[in-house]
Amino acid sequence: MPLPATNRLPLRKERDRLTREGKPFHTHHLTLVMAPTTSSIPRFSILLSKKTAKLAVDRNRIKRVTSAILAELLPSLPPADYLIIPKRSVLDTPHSDLLSDLASLLPKLK
């Protein structure tokens, strides 16, 4: 299930601000950068390079899996702007492990 359009962040405009003002959090399978926002809802952008996955098929699958996990956790996330940088290991990891990996960050985000 993809993220709703209201929860998507236009990356090109916001990337510099997120990297400058954001606080990074690392897990085994991804890096999450969180920056304060004036918005009342959490907004996300997924950044994935060819270095992580050379084939577009793999990059798109990583984005779909990451987006589905974010959609599940959306109600429990505080309002902020998030930049998600998944690692290649997302391809081989079961959905439940990825969900618990990202859920372990929730106490740190509040």
**What CATH number should be reported for the domain holding residue 67?**
3.30.230.10
Rounded Cα distance, 83 and 11, in Å: 8
Query: What range does the domain containing 24 cover?
Result: 5-105
Q: Could you tell me if residue 110 is inside a domain?
A: no
Q: Could you list the pLDDT tens digit for every one of the 110 residues in the chain?
A: 678 888 988 877 788 888 888 999 999 999 999 999 888 999 999 999 999 999 999 999 999 999 999 999 999 999 999 999 999 999 999 999 999 999 899 888 87
Q: What is the dihedral of CA 57, 102, 44, 110, to 10 degrees?
A: -170
Q: Could you tell me if residue 75 is inside a domain?
A: yes
Q: What is the DSSP string of 51-96?
A: TT-SSHHHHHHHHHHHHHHHHHHGGGSPSSEEEEEE-GGGGGS-HH
Among 34, 40, 106, which residue's Cα sits nearest to residue 73?
A: 106
Q: Could you tell me if residue 43 is inside a domain?
A: yes
Is this structure's pTM higher than 0.75? yes
